[in-house]
Structure 1
Amino acid sequence: MTKKSIKEGRKGIGLGATSAVAWGVDTVIIGVIIASTPFKEAVMLAPIIAAFMHDFFSSIWISLLMIIKGEFLNVLKLYKTKSGAILVLGALSGGPLAMSFYFLGIQYAGVTYAASIASIFPGIGAVLAFFFLKEKMNRRTWSGVVLSIIGVIVLAYVPTKFDTESTFFIGILFALGAAIFWGLEGVIGAWGMRGKDVVPLYAINIRQMTSALSYAIILVPLLHGYPLVFEAATSDIVWLIVIAGFLGTANYSLYYSSINLIGAARGQSLNNTYVFWAILTEIVFIGTRVNFQFVIGAIIVLIGSILVSGNIKK
């Protein structure tokens, strides 16, 4: 392996790990947004409208960056290519489809179980990348993927009364659907970035614009959500949404750059450690107490991440 390849491998691992920090902080901010006026007054509609506004502002941030760099026209031209079409599919998978399934899972099964089930997406992505992208996965990497998922479930799980009603199992199926679509997004994104004219920032620009447009044209009108959008846009909370959109842009830019350098399986597993950073952010800034479950889960996640990173020279 050349020194350049080793350097790129280390860079990919660093970018994947940093993307998890950005998404973890972003997750906490989104939670604060949804719990604030006017979102807290529209319990069922709030998550999807917040997700739309998040991706809308994120698309503005990344588009502004591309305009400043003088490369926005290259992004638009990419839409006409095969790679662009593939990236659009990835955006639809990871944006409206995964998020809608995820929130339906929360609605029917509750936050605890939906979050725990959806967190298996790196494992699904690893399997898909192994079969469809022919990414090489040794025992150490597979062990890291499994440990990362177990660690995230330990961190996210809070014992609740197990409800055996049919809606609970429907919710579990929805959450599993979210995991499948998020796993697909990473694999499709890696596939789309194999095109010679594609760079990660172009892919992110397409991802965020496609997701925002899908919400704007299909989901939000379908749910009659524009009154809430306009109410939120004229409230003080809009500035927090703008910040969240910036963090979302940072996360996806780092995440896509990571999977471009080290593959979908490793990039997804490193990004999945965001749960650790989200809980740590809550501990530091909101005052959530540290418990034994957090310590154990955090250790498992970190060990899993180290194993996923693997020996770069190999």
Structure 2
Amino acid sequence: MDLQSLKKQEHQKRVKKGFMWALFCAILWGLWYLPGTVVWVLNPFDEMYGEIAATSGDGVSLIVTAVLITAFNALTVMLALMVWNGTLGKFGEMKRTIKEFHPCSKWFFLASIFGGPMAILGSFIAIGFVGGAFAAVAALMYPVVGSILAQKWYGEKISRRAFAGIAFIILGGLTIFGGGVLSEIGSGNVAWIGYLGGLMAAAGWGIEGAIAGKGLDIAEPDVGLTLRFLGENIIWWIIIVPILAIVGFPMVKFAALAFEPLTILVMVFAGITFGFCYVTWYKSFPLIGVGRGQGIGNLYGLFAVIFIFLFFGDVPSWTILVGGAFCLIGSSVMFSEETGELETLRGD
């Protein structure tokens, strides 16, 4: 076998592995919406919502409760990732990466801003206001943001096929949001905040993927991801949660009450599914690119709707189903791209 054939074979293995990681991401991400939905009805979060709603209203109560849920989600994900990196023996690499702030780790701390307080918080807000199925499908537009930013910032190539997939995803997003958000705003119902949360999730995860792709030029995915969640935990537990407590919300009280066995079990399940969903997501980026990794990971919407229906019996509205179908068609178009298009991920 000549050198060119070996090179082509190695490239095909790399692409296949990248698609495999992205598919695992989709399955684990879809599973995450189960504990993400259940946690809202568990104490102390259920009790917290009622107490704050009595004085500040439903809208404020849902957002503040979502902040504490998201903070605990970040904490359990961080614990899962520390166990993962410890098993792989990568603490030394983590220390080295943190020291290389300007060329490397700054990208992961920046990604944590868009991934945590924007994307994950937005998703929990969407779950609380509208429901898990909507939250899962609403964020399906994130590959559009990620692909375009990766192309603009560091020249990641977008083929005609990828552009066609993006067009389908945009059409799906318009279908998902169009009718629902207009009717909620027109009725004066606070549920429109849930639609805003869905947009936050879509934009946040797209921006995070593009930023993380830059950091992954230098860092290992497992280590970079852990630094990204370290940054998110700092944002929640050192900045946002204390500020809300100072303002007068009972953050400390309900954070201390969160260590009930069932609540811990659900949050650990959320941490494991979401943590390893992120591991596979970040591993796909260097292999097939940010846009394609996000496009295949987008299949999480299909898995989430299936899991939510099987476990809770929730059937989404027709706009969510049709819009989600368009998004999945777009992801499939990106998935079916010829491997030759991926010979180089960046433009000249």
* Deviation of the 1:262 alpha carbon: 0.9
* Deviation of the 1:130 alpha carbon: 1.1
Cross-structure match for 2:78: 59
Change (3 A) 1:289 1:168: closer
Q: Does residue 245 in structure 1 map to residue 271 in structure 2?
A: yes
Judge conservation of contact 1:133–1:187 (CA < 8 Å) in 2.
Answer: no
Q: Does residue 77 in structure 1 map to residue 96 in structure 2?
A: yes
Cross-structure match for 1:189: 212
* Deviation of the 1:57 alpha carbon: 1.1
**Mapping of 1:247-262 within 5 angstroms?**
247-262=273-288
Q: Return 227-236 or 112-121, whichever deviates more.
A: 112-121
Judge conservation of contact 2:31–2:307 (CA < 8 Å) in 1.
Answer: yes
**In 2, distance between residues paired with 1:32 and 1:171?**
17
SS of residue paired to 2:94: helix
Higher relative helix content? 2
CA RMSD of superposed structures (Å): 3.2
Q: Return 147-156 or 176-185, whichever deviates more.
A: 147-156
Q: Return 298-307 or 88-97, whichever deviates more.
A: 298-307
Judge conservation of contact 1:83–1:192 (CA < 8 Å) in 2.
Answer: yes
**In 1, distance between residues paired with 2:74 and 2:198?**
21
* Deviation of the 1:297 alpha carbon: 4.9
Cross-structure match for 1:311: 338
Unaligned runs of 5+ in 2: 1-6, 50-61, 246-250, 342-348
Q: Does residue 203 in structure 1 map to residue 224 in structure 2?
A: yes
Judge conservation of contact 2:123–2:201 (CA < 8 Å) in 1.
Answer: yes
SS of residue paired to 1:236: helix
Q: Deviations over 1:92-125 (max 9, x none)?
A: 2211243445667788x86698877654221111
Judge conservation of contact 1:116–1:157 (CA < 8 Å) in 2.
Answer: no
Q: Deviations over 1:230-283 (max 9, x none)?
A: 211234211110111001111100100111211111112222332221110012
* Deviation of the 1:291 alpha carbon: 7.6
Judge conservation of contact 1:89–1:188 (CA < 8 Å) in 2.
Answer: yes
Unaligned runs of 5+ in 1: none
Number of equivalenced pairs: 311
Cross-structure match for 1:9: 15
Question: 1:142 is aligned with what amino acid?
Answer: F
Change (3 A) 1:158 1:47: farther
Output the TM-score relative to the length of structure 2: 0.78
**In 2, distance between residues paired with 1:163 and 1:72?**
49
Q: Deviations over 1:191-221 (max 9, x none)?
A: 00101xx111111111122212211101111
**In 2, distance between residues paired with 1:117 and 1:278?**
12
**In 2, distance between residues paired with 1:306 and 1:178?**
21
Change (3 A) 1:170 1:53: closer
SS of residue paired to 1:233: coil
* Deviation of the 1:292 alpha carbon: 6.3
Identical-pair percentage: 24
Say which of 271, 281, 295 aligns to 2:297.
271
Judge conservation of contact 1:39–1:46 (CA < 8 Å) in 2.
Answer: yes
**Mapping of 1:9-48 within 5 angstroms?**
9-43=15-49, 44=62, 45-48=64-67
**Mapping of 1:289-308 within 5 angstroms?**
289=315, 296-297=322-323, 299-308=325-334
* Deviation of the 1:172 alpha carbon: 6.4
Say which of 93, 106, 126 aligns to 2:114.
93
Change (3 A) 1:210 1:299: same
Q: Does residue 180 in structure 1 map to residue 180 in structure 2?
A: no
Change (3 A) 1:118 1:284: closer
Judge conservation of contact 1:90–1:185 (CA < 8 Å) in 2.
Answer: yes
**In 2, distance between residues paired with 1:117 and 1:298?**
8
* Deviation of the 1:305 alpha carbon: 2.1
Change (3 A) 1:237 1:20: same
**Mapping of 1:100-115 within 5 angstroms?**
100=121
Cross-structure match for 2:58: none
**In 1, distance between residues paired with 2:177 and 2:303?**
12
**In 2, distance between residues paired with 1:28 and 1:58?**
15
* Deviation of the 1:42 alpha carbon: 2.5
* Deviation of the 1:28 alpha carbon: 2.1
Judge conservation of contact 1:155–1:276 (CA < 8 Å) in 2.
Answer: no
SS of residue paired to 1:2: helix
Change (3 A) 1:280 1:101: closer
**In 2, distance between residues paired with 1:209 and 1:252?**
14
- Give the greater-gyration-radius structure (CA): 2
Output the TM-score relative to the length of structure 1: 0.86
Judge conservation of contact 1:148–1:273 (CA < 8 Å) in 2.
Answer: no
SS of residue paired to 2:305: helix
Question: 2:278 is aligned with what amino acid?
Answer: Y
